[in-house]
Structure 1
C-alpha cells in the first residue's frame, strides 16, 4: 500500500471516529431530547431549551465536514462551535485538562482526519518530512 493510500485510510478512520463520537456523545442526546443534555447545559449556565438547537447546529457542521466538497467549511464551523464549548467550560470553572481542553482534543482529531484524507489541505499546510 502506498503512503498516500495509508494516509487516506488513516484520515478516513480518524474522521469516522470523530463523526461517531459527535453523533453518539453530543448530537444524539440533544436531538433526542434526552434529559442528560438539558441537565448538562443547565449545569454550565445555559437556559432551558438550548440543547435541541445546538444539536441541530452540530449536526449541520458534521454533515458539512463529512461531504468532501464542503469538508473544510464544515471543519471551520465545527471548530467555532468547539471554541464556544471551550469558552463555556472556562466560564463555568471546569477542570482544565478533562473539560476545558476537551474541545481542543476533538478539534485536533477532526483536523487531523481531514488533513490526512485531503491532499490539497496537506499542500496548503505541509508538515516537513511527512509529505
Structure 2
C-alpha cells in the first residue's frame, strides 16, 4: 500500500466523521434559529423594588418589564441585553450562546469533513 493510498483512506475516514457530525450540528443550529428567532441588542434597566428586582426595556414601540429570574445575578442600573425581534416582550441579559455553539462546531466539523473528502479523492487524480 502506497502512502497516497494510506492518505486517501485516512481522508475517507475523516470525511465520514466530519460530515457525519458537522451536517447534523448545522441542521440543529438552523432549527434553534427558527425556534428562537433573531435577537437584537437593547439597553435594559435593572430596578430593585420592594416586591423584587425587575428588568425594564423599550422595544417595538412600547415599554416592557419582567421579573429577574433566579439564575440571573446583576446589579442595579443599565445593562446591555438582547430583545427578541419576533416578540419584543421577551428579553434576556445573556447572548444566545447555544445557537452560536452549534453553528461553530458544525462549521468546523463540516470543513474537516470537506478536507478529508478532498484528501480521499487524491488517488483518483494521480
TM-score bin (small chain): 0.3 to 0.5
Per the normalisation by structure 1, the TM-score is 0.36
Greater fraction helix: 1
Q: Which has the larger radius of gyration?
A: 2
Greater fraction strand: 2
Higher RCO (CA-CA < 8 Å; seq separation 6+)? 2
